[in-house]
Amino acid sequence: MTTKLPMLEDGAQAPPECEILETSTHTVEVVSDPGEGAQRCGQIFGTISAKMGNGVWTVEIIPAEVQPPPRDPAAASGNRVRLGSGPVTNWGDRTNLVLAFNEQVLLHRHRLGTLENDATILLENRWAEHDDEDIRAEWIAALAELGKADYRIIGVPMHEECERLVEDPTLGKNMFALGLLCEIYERDVELSRQQIAFAFRKKSQAITDRNYLLFDAGVEWARNHLDFRVRVPASVSDEPTVVMNGNQAIAMGAIASGMELAAMYPITPASSVSHHLGGVFERFGGIIHQAEDEIAAAGVALGASYSGKVAFTITSGPGLALKTEFLGLSVMTEIPLVLVDVQRGGPSTGLPTKVEQSDLLAALFGQPGDAPHVIIAPATIEECFHVMVTARRIAETFRTLVMVLSDANLATGVQPFRRPDIDAAWQAPAADQSPIPSNGRPYEWDPRTGLSRRFIPGQPGGMHTVTGLAHDERSKVAYTSEINQRGSAMRSRKLAVLQHSLMPPSVNGDESGDLLIVGWGSTKGAIEEAVERARGEGSSVSSIHLRFLSPLEPGLKEIFRRFKKVMTVEINYSDDRDMPFVTDENRRRGQLAWLLRAQTLCDVDCWTRVLGEPLRPGAIHDVIRANLPEGGTE
Amino acid sequence: MNTCSLLHIAGEDDREFSMSDYQGAQARWCSGCGDHSVLASMQRLLADENLPPEETVFVSGIGCSSRFPHYMTTYGFHGIHGRALPIATGVKLHRPDLNVFVVMGDGDCVSIGAGHWVHAIRYNVDMVALLLDNQIYGMTKKQTSPTTPQGYASNTQPFGSWLPPINPIVATLGITNASFVAQTAEWIPAHLYATLEAAHRHPGFAFVRVLQRCPHFTPDMFGDAPKNPDSVQLLVHEDGLNIEALETRYQDRVRHDPSDLDAARRFAQNEDKVRIGILYRNESLPRYEETRHVAAHTAADRVALLNEEFDRHAI
DSSP, residue by residue, A21-36: EE-SEEEEEEEESTTS
Q: Are residues A580 and A475 in the same domain?
A: no
The domain total for chain A is: 4
The pLDDT value recorded for residue A124 is: 96
Q: Which of A77, A30, A342 is nearest to A184 (CA)?
A: A30
pLDDT along chain B (315 residues), means of 10: 46 86 95 96 98 98 97 98 98 98 98 98 98 96 97 97 98 98 98 98 98 95 94 97 95 97 97 96 98 94 96 88
**Does the pLDDT value for residue A632 go beyond 80?**
no
Query: B314 vs A292: CB contact, 8 Å cut-off?
Result: no
Looking at this predicted complex, what is its ipTM?
0.96
Domains within chain B, CATH numbers bracketed: 5-287 (3.40.50.970)
Question: Which chain B residues are closer than 8 Å to A459 by Cβ?
Answer: 54
CA atoms within 13 A on the CB side of B27: 23
Q: Are residues A497 and A522 in the same domain?
A: no
Query: A304 vs B303: CB contact, 8 Å cut-off?
Result: no
Q: Predicted confidence band at A73 (pLDDT cuts at 50, 70, 90)?
A: confident
> Across the A/B interface, how many CB contacts are shorter than 8 Å?
186
> Rounded to 5 degrees, what are φ and ψ at A174?
-65, -25
Crossing angle of helices A205-225/A189-199, nearest 10°?
150
Question: Which chain B residues are closer than 8 Å to A242 by Cβ?
Answer: 310, 313-315
Query: B315 vs A242: CB contact, 8 Å cut-off?
Result: yes
**Does the pLDDT value for residue A157 go beyond 80?**
yes
The pLDDT value recorded for residue B138 is: 95
Would residue A1 count as lying in a domain? no
* A559: CATH: 3.40.50.920
Cα–Cα distance, A28 to B89 (Å, whole number): 48
Q: Are residues A77 and A178 in the same domain?
A: yes
**Other C-beta atoms within 10 Å of A224: how many?**
14
Q: Say if CB B134 and CB B105 are below 8 A apart.
A: yes
Q: Which of A120, A169, A188, A84 is nearest to A416 (CA)?
A: A84
Top residue of B17, B39, B75 to mutate, by most chain A CBs within 10 Å, is B75
Interface of B with A in 161-220 (CB under 8 A): none
Would residue A333 count as lying in a domain? yes
Cis link prior to A378 (omega < 30° from 0)? no
For residue B65, the distance in angstroms to the closest alpha carbon of chain A comes to 14
Question: Which chain B residues are closer than 8 Å to A290 by Cβ?
Answer: none
Which residues lie across from A403 on neighbouring strands?
A339, A375
Q: Residue A467 belongs to what domain range?
A: 432-501
The pLDDT value recorded for residue B1 is: 39
The pLDDT value recorded for residue A71 is: 92
The pLDDT value recorded for residue A634 is: 44
**Other C-beta atoms within 10 Å of B261: how many?**
15
The pLDDT value recorded for residue B159 is: 97
Over residues A189-209, the mean pLDDT reads 93
Q: State the amino acid at position A324 in one-letter form.
A: T
The pairing of strands A77-84 and A55-61 is antiparallel
Question: Which chain A residues are closer than 8 Å to B74 by Cβ?
Answer: 463
Q: Say if CB B150 and CB B165 are below 8 A apart.
A: yes
Q: State the amino acid at position A161 in one-letter form.
A: E
Q: Are residues A569 and A474 in the same domain?
A: no
Q: What confidence tens digit (pLDDT) does each residue in A13-32 have? A: 667 788 999 999 999 999 99
**Does the pLDDT value for residue A271 go beyond 70?**
yes
Task: Determine the 3-state secondary structure of A131 from DSSP.
Answer: coil
Q: Are residues A223 and A119 in the same domain?
A: yes
Residues 6 or more apart whose CB falls under 8 angstroms from that of A169 comprise: A158, A159, A162, A163
Q: Is the pTM of this model over 0.90?
A: yes
Would residue A454 count as lying in a domain? yes
Q: Are residues A478 and A548 in the same domain?
A: no
Lowest mean pLDDT among A234-248, A437-451, A602-616: A234-248
Q: How far is CA B127 from the centre of its chain?
A: 8
Q: Are residues A93 and A51 in the same domain?
A: yes
For residue A379, the distance in angstroms to the closest alpha carbon of chain B comes to 20
Q: Which of A558, A515, A519 is nearest to A538 (CA)?
A: A515
Q: Are residues A130 and A216 in the same domain?
A: yes
The pLDDT value recorded for residue A11 is: 65
The pLDDT value recorded for residue A631 is: 52
* A13: CATH: 3.40.920.10
**Does the pLDDT value for residue A1 go beyond 50?**
no
**Other C-beta atoms within 10 Å of A116: how many?**
16
For chain A, give the mean pLDDT. 94
- Return contacts of B32-35, CB within 8 angstroms, 24+ apart: B32/B213, B32/B215, B32/B219, B33/B64, B33/B212, B33/B214, B33/B215, B34/B132, B34/B134, B34/B186, B34/B187, B34/B210, B34/B212, B34/B213, B34/B214, B35/B64, B35/B65, B35/B67, B35/B68, B35/B132, B35/B186, B35/B212
Would residue A3 count as lying in a domain? no
Q: Say if CB A412 and CB A247 are below 8 A apart.
A: yes
Query: B315 vs A241: CB contact, 8 Å cut-off?
Result: yes
Q: Where are the alpha helices (DSSP H) in B224-294?
A: 261-269, 288-291
Cα–Cα distance, A599 to A504 (Å, whole number): 15
